[in-house]
Amino acid sequence: MLNQISPELELETGEISDSLGRGRHTTRHVELLPLYDGLVADTPGFSSIDFLVIEPVELSKQFPEFVDASVDCRFRECMHVKEPDCEVKRRVAAKEIAQTRYDNYLQFLQEVENRKPMYNKKETRRK
């Protein structure tokens, strides 16, 4: 993306993986790059994200535009998926919320709902 904004940076990039359909990480360290009278941090990315502790009803609260819209949803705990009179879905349809943000939310929600339970091992105490 930075090369598109400012091609003179000539930052190293990797090819898109055919199997994963996404880029491979080439940044190995944090670097501040001067850009348009400011600085942009080029940082190593991450290859996966885990939702270990968040509950499905809490996920939409991580999307500020959903929080703003949800006050006008018909249901207090609206999940913004199948519920009628959902303000988030209305704003997505009206292009007031980006479709990509909503698609990401749906993907994350599916991951949260389908995650396998984690069990903590109890510490054994010696007497």
Q: What residue type is 42 in one-letter code?
A: D
Residue 99 lies in domain:
56-114
Give a yes or no: residue 47 inside a domain: no
Q: Are residues 106 and 69 in the same domain?
A: yes
Give a yes or no: residue 68 inside a domain: yes
Give a yes or no: residue 125 inside a domain: no
- What six digits make up the tokens of 47? 């290859």
Q: Are residues 60 and 103 in the same domain?
A: yes
- What six digits make up the tokens of 25? 């990480």
Assess contact for 33 and 9: CB atoms under 8 A. yes
pLDDT at 126: 54
- What six digits make up the tokens of 58? 């809490």
Q: Are residues 62 and 33 in the same domain?
A: no
Assess contact for 85 and 24: CB atoms under 8 A. no
- The string of pLDDT tens digits covering residues 86-126 is 999 999 999 999 999 999 999 999 989 988 766 655 555 55
Assess contact for 25 and 45: CB atoms under 8 A. yes
pLDDT at 4: 84
Give a yes or no: residue 83 inside a domain: yes
